Amino acid sequence: MARIFKLTTEREEGLAVALKALQQGELVAVPTETVYGLAADATQADAVARIYKAKGRPSFNPLIVHVDGLEMAQATAVFDPISLKLANHFWPGSLTLVLPLRNNSIANAVTAGLDTIALRHPKGVMADLAGDLGNPIAAPSANSSGRISPTIAAHVEADIGKKVDIILNDGPCTVGIESTIVKVVEGKVHVLRVGGISNEEIAAIVGEIHLLTPPESEAKIEAPGMLLAHYAPRTKVRLDAQTPKPNEALLAFGETKEFAGVPSCNLSLTKNLDEAAHNLFAMLKILDDTNSSCIAVQPIPHHGLGAAINDRLKRAAQGANQA
Ligand code: TXA
Ligand code: MG
């Protein structure tokens, strides 16, 4: 079972033990502002192999690599001017850039053999650890493959606690939804995964953006996170619901009337989309554990972080309904 350190009270010891574990090729669950990541030294092939094994992740699905700033990023990948502008504007933050890989010491499995690499400079201790390690850190979300990303340490422990050596508990992730993944191709900005930085925010910096639509088959995958059946709770999910049906749980948005006896959570009483993103995964987990026949989700507007929330909900509906 994992050793767990609370960063509020055991920060120094927790970070020191985590650093040592990373150096020794072990796995550490590390909080970021988006979701908890399952971290390993990106230059150690054995450690990276352990990530895939712990998650049950298919080997064709490459990992996001975390750096402590532009210097480490530019030693790892080649930046075009637009990607550089985005990094300067949004890092540290919830933006991941897919860039041509430089010939360096990153383990092959990290990029699943692609000639590109997904890089992010996150907020918080993940970046500090990369700096102290002196190497980039590979870290997908710290959940079993295909399941909801963890936004609190207890969810990491419940899901993959037996497969990870150390968990750093820094409380709930502030953003609560995974990073936005962007790839610049021939000067055009493609959003491969909508996420914690909204499309509007990116467009404000670079002008026009192009949204990648989910592929119909794995053969076309640019970012396997684009697969529709992803981020799934066990319970079925029904979207754009106004009122729960018998035996359903309710995921509400905005003020709504009380439904007696219905397990419910409210993403944001005041219809604040940032608050809703922050609450999304934890509330899906709570409702998933209520033994309801289905989770009915009220409509969420599509602007700002609403686009990422609706994206994850659509995948949750698809995944759970297929399972
Ligand atoms: O917020 C986040 O992004 C979190 C935290 C821990 O940083 N990480 C995360 O990682 O969500 P993961 O592995 O769950 O999602 C990574 C996504 C996958 O959809 C993967 O296919 C895509 O990034 N990806 C990684 N490398 C890629 C590449 N070279 N080209 C295209 N997509 C890539
Ligand atoms: Mg994930």
Question: What residue's CA is closest to ligand 1, atom 15?
Answer: 140
Q: Which two tokens stand for residue 223?
A: 């970012």
CA–CA distances in Å: residue 167 to residues 5, 14, 19, 27, 97: 6, 9, 12, 9, 26
CA–CA distances in Å: residue 190 to residues 122, 236, 304, 306: 20, 31, 17, 19
Question: What residue's CA is closest to ligand 1, atom 18?
Answer: 225
- pLDDT average, residue stretch 109-125: 96
The pTM (predicted TM-score) of the whole model is 0.94
Q: Which two tokens stand for residue 310?
A: 């609706």
> Is 24 exposed, middle or buried, given 0-12, 13-18 or 19+ CB atoms closer than 10 A?
exposed
Question: What residue's CA is closest to ligand 1, atom 13?
Answer: 140
Rounded Cα distance between 129 and 190, Å, is 30
Query: Is residue 194 predicted with pLDDT exceeding 60?
Result: yes
Residue 226: per-residue pLDDT: 54
Residue 282's DSSP bridge partners are none
Q: Which residues of 84-100 are buried (b: 16+ CB within 10 A; e: fewer)?
A: bebbeebbbbbbbbbbe
Question: What residue's CA is closest to ligand 1, atom 33?
Answer: 223
Share of the chain above pLDDT 70, in %: 93
Q: Higher confidence at residue 222 or residue 152?
A: 152
Is residue 182 within 8 A of residue 317, CB to CB? The reply is no
Query: Is residue 44 predicted with pLDDT exceeding 70?
Result: yes
Confidence of residue 218 (pLDDT cuts 50, 70, 90): very low
Q: Which two tokens stand for residue 252?
A: 């509400």
> Where does ligand 1 bind, in terms of residues with CB under 6 Å?
32, 34-35, 37, 61-64, 94, 96, 98, 111, 114, 116-118, 120, 122, 139-141, 178-179, 181, 192-193, 222-225
Task: Give the distance (Å) from ligand 1 centre to CA of residue 80.
Answer: 20
Tell me the torsion sign for CA atoms 159, 161, 164, 170: positive
Ligand 1, atom nearest to 224 Cα:
21
Task: Give the distance (Å) from ligand 2 centre to CA of residue 243.
Answer: 30
Rounded Cα distance between 202 and 211, Å, is 12
Residue 37's DSSP bridge partners are 30, 141
Residue 104: per-residue pLDDT: 79
Question: What residue's CA is closest to ligand 1, atom 10?
Answer: 140
Is residue 302 within 8 A of residue 198, CB to CB? The reply is no
Task: Give the distance (Å) from ligand 2 centre to CA of residue 256.
Answer: 31
Task: Give the distance (Å) from ligand 2 centre to CA of residue 259.
Answer: 33
Is residue 139 within 8 A of residue 63, CB to CB? The reply is yes
Question: What residue's CA is closest to ligand 1, atom 3?
Answer: 179
Is residue 142 within 8 A of residue 160, CB to CB? The reply is yes
Task: Give the distance (Å) from ligand 1 centre to CA of residue 145.
Answer: 12
Rounded Cα distance between 127 and 92, Å, is 9
Residue 238's DSSP bridge partners are 296
Query: Is residue 190 predicted with pLDDT exceeding 90?
Result: yes
Confidence of residue 219 (pLDDT cuts 50, 70, 90): very low
Between CA 80 and CA 85, with CA 83 as vertex, the angle to 5 degrees is: 110
